[in-house]
Amino acid sequence: MSDPETTPWWRGAVIYQIYPRSFCDSNGDGVGDLAGVTSKLDYVASLGVDGIWLSPFFRSPMKDFGYDVSDYCDVDPVFGTLEQFDALLDRAHALGLKVIIDQVYSHTSEEHPWFIESSASADNSKADWYVWAPAKPDGTPPNNWQASFGGPAWTWHPRRRLYYLHNFLTQQPDLNFHNPDVRAAVLDVARFWLDRGVDGFRLDVVNYYAQDPALRDNPPRPWPKTPARTYLFQHHIHDKSQPETLTFVESLRAVTDQYSERMMVGEIVDDDDLARQQEYTLGESRLHTAYSFHLIGGRRGEPSLFAEASEAWRGASGWPSWSLGNHDVPRYPTRLGGPEAGADQTKALLAALFALKGTLFLYQGDELGLPQGRVRFEDLQDPFARAAFTGDAGRDGARTPFPWNQDLPMAGFTRADKAWLPVDPDHAARAVVGQEGDPESLLSFTRGLIALRAAQPALRIGEAEVLAAPEGVLAILRSHGDARLLCVINLSGQPKTFTHGDLGVGVVLETGLPAALADGALQLPGFSGAFVRL
C-alpha cells in the first residue's frame, strides 16, 4: 500500500490542460500567448489543481495549430519567447504548480529543417530520418494505410521520387524511429526541456512512433454503415503500436528518470485503447501513466462508460489517467449529456470522473461546465473540422476562447476586436467572474471535488471496485488501508435509491451534490450523487 506522504506527485493528481492559443491574449492580437497564461496562473492555482499541461507552443507553420512542429526547442513568436516560457515556469512553480508540456515526436512539420534536408536527396545525412517508400509498379502508394484525418497516409514527393508517410495531415511527415539517429535526436529534445525545468511531458499519439518495417497492409474493419473517415475502414495493426515504440519509450523513461520528480503521460489511440493503456504503463520502465480515448471518445454519459474504464484497470500494475475532454473532442456536457444538458447533469458527469482511480485531467473550461462552442463554417480554422463539417464545429468547438468576464468585450479573452475563433455567447454567460461568487456554480462545485480528492487518500490513490447498482447509477468503492469511500452517482434523470450494507454507519461528505442518506439507503434525485465515508 502506498503512503500518501511518499506517493509521487503525479499519482492521483488533478492536472489542468491549457490550450494557450485560446486561454488569454496578453498583447491584443486575438491569439492567446504564454504571457497571457502566466497572468492567469493565480486563477489556475485557486482551483486546487496540482499542475498544468501546456498544449504546443513551439515554432510551427500552424497547419495543425502547433502539432506540426518546425523547431522543437524554440517558442513560436505568436506565443512569445523562451524567456516568457521561463517566466511562466517560474511563476507556476512559485504557486506550487507542476508544468508538463506537449511533445509531438511522432511527426514534424514539413517545414522542419530535418524534413527539408531529408526530402532534398537520397544521399544526405537525414535521407532516412522519415518514412520513405517506393511506389507500387502502377504508381499507387506502398500500402493501404489511411491517415487519421482521412485519405491515404502517403504523399508522393517528386524530388525524392518516393512516397512519405503521414498519419495525420500531408504537412506532418512521420519520423522514422527505426533510425537510431532519429531516436537520439528526439532524446536530445527531451533533455533540452528537462534541463529547462519542466516537470514532465504529455506525449502526443505515443503509440504511433514506429510502424511495421515491412509496411504490410492493414486488414479491413467491417462497419454496419459507411464511416465518416476512411481511417475507420481498417484495423490499425501495422501502422502503430509496434514493439519498437515500447523500446523507445523505455529509453525516454530512462532519460526522464535521471531528473527528480519528473513524469510522462502518454496519449493512446488504438482499437483496444484500454488494453494498450495498460501495456504502455506496465512495470517501472515505460510511461508513468497514460490516457486513452475511452472516456473522451464516449458519446453517452452512462454508468457503463465509467464502470468499464474502472474495471479494466482493476488489479493492473500500471496507473491510468482519465479526462472527459480536451482540445480534440467536443466538450463533455454536450458530447455526453446532449445539447440540452443542464448544470445538474454536468455536475454528475464530473463527479463520475472524480470517482475513478487514476490521474485526472481537466480541460480549460471544464470547471465552468462549458458546452460545445458554436462556430459558423466560415469562421472554422481547424482543417479537419472544415473537411468533416455537418453543422457541428468539431475540434474548433472545444477551442473557442476562454471566458473570463461576461461584462468585458470578447469575454475578457482579448482586447482585440476579433479573436482567432469567435467567443460563444453561451460561454460568455458562464464566465469565471460570474461564477466566482456563486456557491451553486460549476466552478464552486469543481473546486469542491478537487479539494475532496486532495483530502481523501482513498479517493486520490486508493483502489477501486465497481459495485452493483440500479440502472442509471454508478457505484465505485474506493479504499486505501482502513479508509473506504463510496462514490455513488446517479447519471439518469430519474430518482433512484441505492442500498449498501455499510451505509448505516456512513457519513456523506459535502460536495454540493443533492442526495440524502437515511435508514441505510441513499436517496438520489435525478443527476445527483454522494461521496460517503464508510
Residues annotated as part of the active site: 204, 267
Report the amino acid identity of residue 213.
P
Strand order in the sheet with 516-518: 496-499, 521-524, 516-518
d(Cα 474, Cα 311) in Å, to the nearest integer? 12
d(Cα 241, Cα 273) in Å, to the nearest integer? 11
- For residue 514 the three cell numbers come to 443533492
- For residue 502 the three cell numbers come to 455499510
Q: What is the sign of the dihedral through the CA atoms of 263, 267, 268 and 273?
A: positive
Q: Give the DSSP H or E segment for 405.
A: none
Instruction: Bin 52: left if φ > 0, else alpha if -120 < ψ < 50, else beta.
Output: beta
- For residue 461 the three cell numbers come to 490513490
Residue position matching grid coordinates 506496465: 282
528-533 and 507-509 strand pairing:
antiparallel
Q: Which of 489, 477, 472, 163 is nearest to 346 (CA)?
A: 489
d(Cα 165, Cα 472) in Å, to the nearest integer? 45
Q: What is the sign of the dihedral through the CA atoms of 254, 257, 259 and 264?
A: positive
Residue 272's CB is within 10 A of a number of other CB atoms, namely 14
Strand order in the sheet with 51-54: 289-292, 263-268, 200-203, 98-103, 51-54, 14-18, 359-363, 321-323
Report the amino acid identity of residue 157.
H
Alpha carbon of residue 454 to chain centroid: 21
d(Cα 54, Cα 112) in Å, to the nearest integer? 21
d(Cα 524, Cα 530) in Å, to the nearest integer? 8
Residue position matching grid coordinates 511527426: 107
* 230: CB partners within 8 A, 6+ apart: 146, 150, 151
Residue position matching grid coordinates 499542475: 51
Rg (CA), the chain: 23
Could you please report the per-residue DSSP string of 199-240? -EEEETTGGGS---TT-PPPPB---SS--SSGGGGB--SSSS
Residue position matching grid coordinates 502539432: 67
Q: Which of 244, 124, 66, 105 is nearest to 187 (CA)?
A: 105
